[in-house]
Structure 1
Amino acid sequence: MLTSSRSKAYNPDVLNCLANLSNDEVFTPPEIVNAMLDTLPQYLFGDSNARFLDLASKSGVFLREIAKRLIKGLEPVYPDLEARIDHIFRKQLYGIAITELTALMSRRSLYCSKYPNSIFSVIPFENIEGNIRFKRMPHRWKSNKCVFCGAAKSQYERDKGLETHSYEFIHTTKPEGIFNMKFDVIIGNPPYQLETDGPGKQAKPIYHHFVRQAKKLQPRYLIMITPSRWFAGGMGLDDYRAEMLSDKHIRAIVDYSKSTDCFPGVDIAGGVSYFSWESTYNGLCEYTYIDGESKTVLKRDLNEYEILVRNNEAIEIVRKVTEVDEKSMSELMSSLGPFGLGTAERGEKNPSKDRHKLLSSEGISYIDKSSIKSGFQYLDKWKVVIGKATSAGAATAGKDGLRKVIATLELLEPNAVCTFSYFVGAAFDDKKYASNCRDYLSTKFARFLLLQTLSSINITKNRFVFVPQQDFSRAWTDEELYVKYCLCQEEINLIESMIKPMNSNGEENE
């Protein structure tokens, strides 16, 4: 018996397919866009005077989904469909594209034609852009860096035929002059970063510039999706983090610990999140944390700690630990590169009484004392050293659902040093104290507290802010620590369900 091919035809949303493509500019799936729009008061879609701006239009999906809601919501106001669409597209929907190509894509999504003044456009405009504009902007160079976004002149001063990534919305001191109007809702998924010509060519975050510019326009509502790395600061985000955590206008945050749960096929270290900001709101934030199949919701003060604890179930454990008011392990730790030796530093293979043992990512070698540039206060001590890169991104669980968090934990004897791949976790005159400290940092308890501060693959001393110092004249076990901090069985189960066993040599227990 033949079956109709028409009944089984697959007709996917092209914008959903586009969102599954890995790209420097991450495209937003329609279902995430609609979840973001659901955070708005729905009466807005029945208000013929409400204006909406997508500040970083790529596929046009935000404007398209808003248009759908307005077409339905404004039916009582404009019963005639043609008049309704004409009003919505001309008077209510606006976009700023990030490239010339995305401008064409966005216009095609919204107007059904990449040229809104053509006969194929749903609404014929007199100009070629409609209400979705793209303007090629120059970077403004000072000391070979752009004063707006920090781009390096050597990389981004390009010929006219090449994209400069000088996004209009953040390359102006007066964003209100772009459309010369007030917007009720600003929404979007901005570009996340720019590659730099700095050490290691690390990427430079730029999404926070879009958030700050949007607030300058004083909208009633602001909804944006960005990487979650700002929760922990670093990479120039410390001031932005402080601003956001103290902002009582943030009504809700939805946080995905794994970016692939939000953007299928796109892996963004530290996950992604979107926030809903409301100008007239002043209160606690409804914080939703999504980790795979697990979803928790909790009303919280975002500014409770300097670093935002993402896991709602972990917050009570952090509170119990910090209420004891003990010094943090971060106070004992060195900065990165404690001995002034670069990651690529390698010594001789043969030991000598005049040489110092060097720990690098490739193992042990030996260097002359003249090579050591700093960290002399640690030199004659027993040192606990920690690898600066986490295991598998820390937040990423293995097939067993467990995380190792710390990839490398070593004990270095007096006169031994390490490269930039490691930093000193603590230093002691007595080997016993150093061994007990190393064993403590290998406990599930300590690594669980460290995990709550991580949003990238890198560990620094300030990430140990929730890990309390102990009396290192004695050894500590997880069971003793659970009792000391009065953890209930549910809290113990949470730690045990998230953290891999690890022995005192920093290796996983089978």
Structure 2
Amino acid sequence: MADNLFNTVYNPDVLSCLANLSNDEVFTPPDVVNKMLDMLPQELFHNPDTTFLDPACKTGVFLREIAKRLITGLEPQIPDLQERIDHIFHKQLFAIAITELTSLLSRRGVYCSKYPQSEFSVTQFDDAEGNIRYRNIKHSWANGKCKYCGISKDNTVLGGGERGQTLESHAYEWIHTLKPEEIFNMRFDVIIGNPPYQLDDGGNGISASPIYQLFIQQAKKLNPRYLSMIIPSRWFTGGKGLDGFRQDMLNDHHITKIVDYINSKECFPGMSVGGGVCYFLRERDKETECEFTSINGSKTSTALRKLNEFDVFIRYNEGLSIVHKAMHEPSISSLISTRNPFGIPSNGRGLKEATQNSYKLFSRDDITYIKKSELEKNEELANNYKVMISRFSAEHAGEPDKDGMVKVLSRTMVMEPGEICTDTYIVGGNFKSRMEAENFVSYLKTKFVRFLLLQGIASISITKEKFCFIPTQDFSLTWTDEELYTKYGLTDDEISFIESMIKPMDLSGGDTDAN
């Protein structure tokens, strides 16, 4: 029976056709799973004592592909197919499903039956879940948020929020315990999977907090020999809730391999994850430089890297030498404002008509006027020339177009004395003359500068910190790419790399790039 069911029903290719549940929960294509498994020492699949855990099981594809390798690898030691399958599924493969639905889907995919105690299962268990467990865990509330995952109580079934109308409570068992090792009361050689990426955190109904880092932190508590997960790449530069995690990852010398997809659709067809996705391998018993592979369309680059060379991680191997050449001068980040430079929220609006003592207020789609007495901060900046810069990159988190190119910046504009903006923008410079402000705009629009800015971006948001690799210039002068390439001694290959990936922009100082 096992031979017949396994070879006729066991077909993982169907998983390539499944729609994803949501941005939170992304199904992993079988070919990606196998690329992750290829990073592991293959002798693991010839050892009957090797144990594997997927702590965020959605379709069972990781267990299925592991099982295929074990069934082949253990044949010399356990010749009988049914005995071999029983051993693998009972002693070696374990998972924690993220929802009741995915637990059924996973069991159907792995055991060929939703209920592995049934006669249709390729291996018989004494209960209905086998080694793929699901528990309906409750959140632990503190001040309206779960103390484990940070989800807002208003966004769950228990809280009665909108999310609760259609979805489960999403209290994932793996990260809702202080002792994950007690879930199965065992240690694992390999922990591997694709965790949920984010959860609503109650920020006006549109805000979400990353959650994938919690799955990795829990996995490290078990100290497996090998840890591999596929996650969003935005941790390279930090961001909301990720700064500490970024530092932990960059300083972890046990991370031996990372494969980064600049465009997430090349990894998850039809699924856009801002900033791309990556998978990594962490080896408990090995410390070394990381073999980092960057995939951008038809371009693939691999290099041995020190992950902690900078405070953020530069994802383009070819960009390292350019950054090194540009970092001999102070960066322009000191000229860039923090978020919300004038204390006016994105939805803030003033009067339709100007008054004698008012500032001209720019928002995303409107121009209004507010009384000067209402300005909360940065009065000096408001009364000088400066440059308004959109807080959001031109592309979806720097995601390349079909030709592999990006523009990076969207709206940039010189602002006169007496002009201010809402939180939709940040502000650059604090100049006494319009000429300096215009030169600053043209500098920002050079391919050289936008390339360096791109090295710090792994999400749609552009902040002061993202300008850390861009050197300051004398803004009484205009600057062109040719002059910058010469000043910093860029080679023909480095220039070609920049030119091949950064789109041209109108270099005038006006508001010509609003879209």
TM-score bracket for the superposition, by shorter chain length: over 0.9
Once the 2 structures are TM-superposed, how far is the Cα of residue 500 of structure 1 from its aligned partner?
Answer: 1.8
Q: Does 2:193 match 1:221?
A: no
Measured in 1, the distance between the counterparts of 2:435 and 2:135 equals 65
Report the CA distance between 1:200 and its aligned residue: 6.0
- How do residues 10-409 of structure 1 correspond to structure 2 at under 5 angstroms? 13-18=13-18, 24-158=24-158, 163-199=168-204, 201-322=206-327, 324=328, 326-399=329-402, 401-409=404-412
Cα distance in structure 2, aligned partners of 1:98 and 1:480: 55
RMSD: 1.8
Task: Report percent identity of matched pairs.
Answer: 54
Kept in 2: contact 1:501–1:508 (CA 8 A): no
Q: Distance in 1 between matches of 2:199 and 2:215?
A: 13
Shift of 1:418: 0.5
Contact 2:12 2:64 in 1 (8 A): no
Unaligned runs of 5+ in 1: 1-10
Give the distance between the partners of 1:475 and 1:334, measured in 2 at CA: 22
Q: Deviations over 1:317-376 (max 9, x none)?
A: 111111x2x111111111111111111122233333322111111143222113321222
Counterpart CA distance in 1 for 2:243 and 2:344 is 26
- In 2, the alpha carbon distance for the partners of 1:414 and 1:508 equals 21
Which amino acid in structure 1 is aligned with residue 53 of structure 2? L
- Contact persistence 2:24–2:199 (CA under 8 A): no
Match of 2:477 in 1: 474
Q: Alpha carbons of 1:12 and 1:302: their partners in 2 closer, same or farther (altered >3 Å)? A: closer
Give 1:157 deviation, angstroms.
5.0
Kindly provide the amino acid, as one letter, of the partner of residue 437 in structure 1: F
- Alpha-carbon distance between aligned partners in 2 of 1:363 and 1:188, rounded to the nearest angstrom: 46
Look up the SS of the partner of 2:308 in the other structure. Answer: helix
Query: What does residue 454 of structure 1 align with?
Result: 457
Alpha-carbon separation, structure 2, partners of 1:278 and 1:100: 32
Please say if residues 55 and 95 of structure 2, whose CA atoms lie closer than 8 Å, have aligned partners that are also in contact: yes
Question: Secondary structure at 2:294's aligned position in 1?
Answer: strand
Q: Residue 382 and residue 162 in structure 1: after superposition, are their counterparts in 2 closer, same or farther (change >3 A)? A: closer
| 8 Å contact from structure 2 (residues 23, 273) kept in 1 | no
Aligned match for 2:445, one of 409, 430, 442: 442
Q: Distance in 1 between matches of 2:499 and 2:107?
A: 51
Q: CA deviation at 1:162?
A: 5.5
Q: Note the C-alpha offset of 1:428.
A: 1.3
Aligned AA (2:460) = I
Partners of 2:511 and 2:458 in 1: CA distance: 21
Q: Is the 8 A contact 2:276 2:399 kept in 1?
A: no
Q: What code does the residue aligned with 1:369 have?
A: K
The residue type paired with residue 76 of structure 2 is P
Assess, with a 3 A threshold, how the Cα gap between structure 1 residues 162 and 358 changes in structure 2: closer, same or farther.
closer
SS of residue matched to 2:214: helix
Q: SS at 1:302's partner residue?
A: coil
- Alignment TM-score, normalising by the size of structure 1: 0.94
Conserved 8 A contact 1:269-1:393: yes
Give the alignment partner of residue 426 of structure 1, picking from 426, 429, 447. Answer: 429
Unaligned runs of 5+ in 2: 1-10
* Whole-Å separation in 2 of the counterparts to 1:400 and 1:246: 34
Q: Which shows bigger deviation, 35-44 or 344-353?
A: 344-353
Matched residue of 2:318: which SS? coil
CA contact (8 A) 1:229 1:456 kept: yes
